[in-house]
């Protein structure tokens, strides 16, 4: 079964961190996980927030640990053919 994956990040900078990972299988089952920022994750972009609509405060309040999200994703995606396409984003400065 193919599974489509999407991810959102704090910013488009090198060294940015994930804020959300989601997937949907061909069977229609889907899941999305917010990721609670670790203390050393300080990069944050207002422009990226305007794209994904997720605030840092929401991540702190509702996010799961990165370890939990990684284990969950591995359990759900390990037997699937993962489909992922990275789209080049522009900031208007390009």
Non-local (6+) Cβ contacts of 87 within 8 A are: none
pTM metric for this prediction:
0.80
User: In whole angstroms, what is the distance from residue 72 CA to residue 51 CA?
Assistant: 25
The confidence score (pLDDT) of residue 86 equals 64
User: In whole angstroms, what is the distance from residue 9 CA to residue 86 CA?
Assistant: 12
The confidence score (pLDDT) of residue 82 equals 87
- Chunked into runs of 10 residues, the chain (94 residues) has average pLDDT values of 88 84 91 93 82 89 96 90 70 50
* CATH 3.90.226.10 describes domain 2-83: no
The confidence score (pLDDT) of residue 63 equals 96
Share of the chain residues as helix, strand and coil, in percent rounded to the nearest 5:
30, 30, 45
User: In whole angstroms, what is the distance from residue 81 CA to residue 72 CA?
Assistant: 16
**Exposed / middle / buried, residue 48 (Cβ in 10 Å: 0-12, 13-18, 19+):** buried
- Sequence spans of domains, the chain: 2-83
Non-local (6+) Cβ contacts of 67 within 8 A are: none
The confidence score (pLDDT) of residue 89 equals 55
């Amino acid at each position: 079964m193919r599974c489509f994956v999407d991810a959102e990040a704090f910013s488009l900078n090198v060294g940015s961190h994930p804020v959300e990972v989601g997937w949907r299988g061909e069977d229609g089952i889907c899941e999305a996980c917010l990721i609670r920022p670790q203390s050393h994750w300080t990069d944050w972009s207002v422009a990226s927030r305007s794209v994904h609509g997720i605030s840092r405060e929401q991540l702190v309040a509702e996010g799961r640990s990165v370890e939990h999200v990684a284990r969950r994703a591995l359990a759900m995606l390990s037997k699937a053919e993962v489909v992922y396409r990275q789209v080049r984003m522009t900031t208007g400065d390009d």
